[in-house]
Every structure is written in C-alpha cells, then in structure tokens.
Structure 1
Amino acid sequence: MRSGEVATHAGVNLQTLRYYERRGLVEDPPRSASGYRSYPAETVDIVRFVKRAQGLGFTLDAVAELLHLASGGPEGCDAALTLAQTRKTELDRRIDDLTRMRDSLAELVATCDRPRTDRQCPLLQSLHIDRDESR
C-alpha cells in the first residue's frame, strides 16, 4: 500500500502517518524500485490502534509502550492493565479538578446579576486564599 492509501484507510492525514513513522510507532516501509513507500496492510491496523489509544487519552509514549505490549505474551496484559489504571486515575483527578472549576464558575455566574455590593466571587476569593497561604 502507498502512503495515501494507508492514511485514507486508517482515517488520518498523510502528515499524521509520517509523524507516526518519525516517532517510531509505524515502521519505515521499504521502498519500491520507483522510490514509493510500500506499506504492509497491517500498517492500517497499527495506525487505527494509535488513534484509538490517543482517543482514550494515552500519550504517544504510552501508545508506543502499548504497541510493544500488544506484540508480547501474557505479561503484556498485566502491564497494559497497569497503564490503563494509571491513565484512569489521572483522568479521575482531572475530572475532579474540572468539576470543581465548573462549580466555582457556575457560582460566580449566578452572582453576576446581583448588585456589586451583594456579589460573592468564589473564584477570586479562592485565588486570594491560595495566595495568602503560599506566604
């Protein structure tokens, strides 16, 4: 398969495919006599694997490790599980942080219609508290 075919079948653009090659996620393909890259058909599956893993929030470094584990034996499953649990913990932490931020902003928005003297700005108050605590 040529580069454009791989990119089309995998649902990425050509620059993405080239970037994955540079990162070592996709092996450099052999070239035909005329100089065109000639990818094996499984390259499409690899690129799709990378995109699905990225969609779950894995970094490209973690994706590289997952690709390595996917080609291994039963210990690969345990290592992949550890990576997934770590990623889930990170996402849970981010979700908690984002929920707190959203709630603070919702409270701020709810007070914006009040007269200035009656407003409470939890966001600004929390920023002042954090600044005072850092001294």
Structure 2
Amino acid sequence: MKIGELSKHTGCEVETIRYYEREHLLPTPPRSDGNYRQYSEADAERLQFIRHCRSLGMSLDDVRTLQRFQANPEMACDQIDAMLDRHLLQTEAQIETLQKLQKQLQTLRNACRDHLDARQCGILQNLERAASRSDCVCHAEHSAMEK
C-alpha cells in the first residue's frame, strides 16, 4: 500500500509516518516503479505498535528499546520492566505537578467571582502583580508550602 493508504489504514498522519522512517522506527520501504513507497501489512502493524506506545507517553528511545526486544524475543525482559517502572514514576510526578497547577488555577479563578470590568478583575490584578514580581494569590500558598 502507498503512504496515503497506510495513513488512512492506521489513522497516522503522512508526515508522522515519514518522521518515524527518518527516526528509524519504521524501516525504509521499497519503492514502486513510479517511485512510490510500498508498505506491507507488517509495516502497518509496526506503525500501530509505535502509535500505541506513543499514546502511553513513551519516548522514541523507549519504542526503540521495545523494538529491540521484539527482534530478540529470547532476551530477558528485566529492562522492559525497569523502563515501565521509570515511566510510572515520571507519570506520578506529572500528575502531582498537574494537581498543584490545578489548585493554583482554582485559587486564581476564585480571585474574581463577580462580573466586573477588567480594571477590577481579581484574576487580571493577580497576574499583573506576578508580572511586577509581587505575590499573587495563586503562588502565595505555593510559596508558603515550599518554605
């Protein structure tokens, strides 16, 4: 199948397919007489594998590692286990960071509950305070927690 067909078949953008080829995650496909890339069903499966890994937040290096294990199925999977454990820790840290951000945004949102004009808006006033290096409500609690 041509690259456009592969794109439709997998739901992956053409440019992303080309990018994965440049990154050597997908092998360079043979060309037709008309110089079109010719992909196989195995290429489609490999692309779906890559997409699934990426949807789980795995890096390109992680995908390469997993592909090495696919190519060498007799290898022990300890390295895969460790990679996923690291990914879980990173994800937990990201969740914690996002929860802090959510709390800060909610605090900032609570600074303006009335329908006022912009010069009286508590959100805008706090953002302006932060821009002038003064404390704003969303970082005041965060700063106190760090001390």
TM-score (norm 1): 0.78
Q: 1:125 maps to which residue? A: 140
- Asked if 1:86 corresponds to 2:86, the answer is yes
Q: Percent identity?
A: 26
Say whether the 8 Å CA contact 1:69–1:79 is kept in structure 2.
no
Aligned residues: 129
- Pairwise mapping of residues 1-135 of structure 1 onto structure 2 (< 5 A)? 1-75=1-75, 77-113=77-113, 121-126=136-141
Q: Is the 8 A contact 2:104 2:139 kept in 1?
A: no
* Stretch moving more, 78-87 or 33-42: 33-42
The aligned amino acid for 1:71 is A
Distance 1:34 1:106, change over 3 A: closer
Task: Report deviation, 1:62.
Answer: 1.6
Counterparts in 2 of 1:76 and 1:70: CA distance versus 1, 3 Å: farther
Are the aligned partners of 1:70 and 1:76 in contact in 2 as well (CA < 8 Å)? Answer: no
Q: Which runs of 5+ in 2 are unaligned?
A: 115-119, 127-134
Aligned equivalents of 1:25, 1:88: Cα separation in 2: 23
Once the two structures are superposed, residues 60-107 of structure 1 have per-residue CA deviations (whole angstroms, 9 ceiling, x without a partner) of: 222122222222224353222211111111010010011112112223
**Residue-by-residue CA offset, 1:104-135 (whole Å, 9 max, x unaligned):** 2223323434997xx995423257669xx7xx
- In structure 1, list runs of 5 or more residues that go unmatched: none
Superposed CA offset, 1:2-40 (max 9, x none) = 222222211112111111111101000122233222222
Assess if the C-alpha contact under 8 Å between 1:26 and 1:43 holds in 2. yes
How does the TM-score come out when normalised to structure 2? Answer: 0.73
Q: CA RMSD in A?
A: 2.9
